[in-house]
A and B are shown apart, each in its own frame.
Chain A
């Protein structure tokens, strides 16, 4: 099999089965429960090949919610480093985009992009599950 065919198959596999790792970096839980709702029968993202994984080593996409607090920052960096390449970062919710309603507080550094390179911002307070699915689909199209 030549190189282009192999790389095509790998790209197809990456697009058709992105595995998520979810990390709450200091949010209020609103966006987190909407992300968990994605797995439930109403939205059912498993039909897109998406699985929610528990270990950073198994994941392709890191979904972050919440503003980055000072205590969480080194842990977030460590988790990102543990995810094998290629990896993508999704910032879900207004807090992870920019700090949201909490920006300016004594313990808040800002949005996720103060620590990691973000590939997709999905705004909302809290973000609707439909918007999260839309964001993931647009991200997967970017991989193409």
Chain B
């Protein structure tokens, strides 16, 4: 099944409004769903023969979090979910798609989203002794020079 037909099937199964479906470049269909509909939406997408998950994007829009699940089969199919800033919790899709683990772990450590049922909730990219909060959140301004320790430029010579 191609992504257009899969999008229509999702609209029927989840009872979505026509305005929930949008086209964005390049050949990508974006469907807005609620967080309770996520697991059913992913199961329907897998049943339609679309099993390749390209990425899970997390971003902040006016303090709320937006999660985008990007699927692909000759065309793109993205599921958009809005999470409240006070309660950034959502079910993990790792039991259905094991390949989502790294993407969810990254969203968790960079934005602080909690994925219920994530198999390995340890940091992926940030250091073990990281104290700086959630770096990708809008409030974190990280354009500063961290000068830990002194400059040991005792015998430097430029080539």
- Residues on A lying within 8 angstroms of B by beta carbon are 69-71, 73, 99, 103-110, 113-123, 131, 134-135, 138, 142
Contacts and interface: CB of A to CB of B under 8 A. Distances in A.
Contacts of A107: 126-127, 135
B152 A110 contact: no
Interface string B137-157: 000101111111101111111
Nearest to A136: B159
Contacts of A73: 148
B128 interface: yes
Contact of B145 (A69, A70, A104): A104
Contacts of B26: none
A103 B145 contact: yes
Interface residues on B, range: 20 to 34
A121 B149 CA distance: 19
Given A109-B146, A109-B148, A114-B149, 12 more contacts: A69-B127, A105-B142, A106-B132, A106-B135, A107-B126, A108-B146, A110-B146, A118-B152, A118-B153, A120-B157, A135-B159, A142-B157
B87 interface: no
B153 A113 contact: yes
A104 B155 CA distance: 25
Interface of B: 126-130, 132, 135, 140, 142-149, 151-159
Contacts of B144: 104
Contacts, number: 67
Contact of B127 (A70, A105, A114, A138): A70
A119 B155 contact: yes
B152 A121 contact: no
Contacts of A106: 132, 135, 140, 142
Nearest to A99: B145
A90 to B, nearest CB: 9
Contacts of A117: 152-155
Contacts of A110: 145-147
B67 to A, nearest CB: 22
A80 to B, nearest CB: 11
| Closest 6 pairs (CB-CB, A-B) | A106-B142, A135-B159, A71-B127, A117-B152, A70-B127, A106-B135
